[in-house]
Amino acid sequence: GQQLNQSPQSMFIQEGEDVSMNCTSSSIFNTWLWYKQEPGEGPVLLIALYKAGELTSNGRLTAQFGITRKDSFLNISASIPSDVGIYFCAGQGEAGATNKLIFGTGTLLAVQP
């Protein structure tokens, strides 16, 4: 199945550092979503983006919907140990498949106290 390219694959940082990850696609999406998944759990929605160029914040998290509609980034500021998990981007609304959610390959984040 199709996946979106997400980078970096993993990050190991110190508490307090800022984090940035991004997602790119060869296809255009109408919606970009960012999820966090912890071991043995389903993904939890962090931020949803609906318009090209949109910049949205949720606490220490900020995400942007790329102008080309083919990319998105997620920033986490002042990381804390509970930010540990796998972060997935997801695109929705690809031409001809408006309901489907296509996931990125994931970014594993480890935060050292």
Partner 1 sequence: GAVVSQHPSWVICKSGTSVKIECRSLDFQATTMFWYRQFPKQSLMLMATSNEGSKATYEQGVEKDKFLINHASLTLSTLTVTSAHPEDSSFYICSARDRGQGREKLFFGSGTQLSVL
- Applying CB under 8 A, which of residues 74, 87, 93, 94 lies at the interface with partner 1? 93
Tokens of residue 71, six digits? 């990319």
89 in Cβ contact with 101 (< 8 Å): no
Nearer to partner 1, 73 or 88 (CB): 88
d(CA 17, CA 2): 32
Q: Which of 42, 59, 96, 113 binds partner 1 (CB under 8 A)?
A: 42
d(CA 52, CA 70): 9
Give the C-alpha separation, 36 to 109, whole Å. Answer: 10
Q: Does 33 bind partner 1 (CB under 8 A)?
A: yes
Which listed residue (26, 40, 59, 95) binds partner 1 by CB under 8 A? 40
Which one among 74, 102, 109, 111 touches partner 1, defined by CB under 8 A?
A: 102
Query: How does DSSP classify residue 76?
Result: E
Structure tokens at 20: 């940035």
User: Shortest gap between Cβ of 78 and partner 1 (angstroms)?
Assistant: 24
Q: Which is nearer to partner 1, 8 or 16 (CB)?
A: 8
The three-point CA angle 14-20-25 to 5° equals 145
What does the binding site for partner 1 look like in residue numbers (CB under 8 A)? Answer: 1, 3, 31, 33, 35, 40-45, 48, 50, 88, 92-93, 99-106
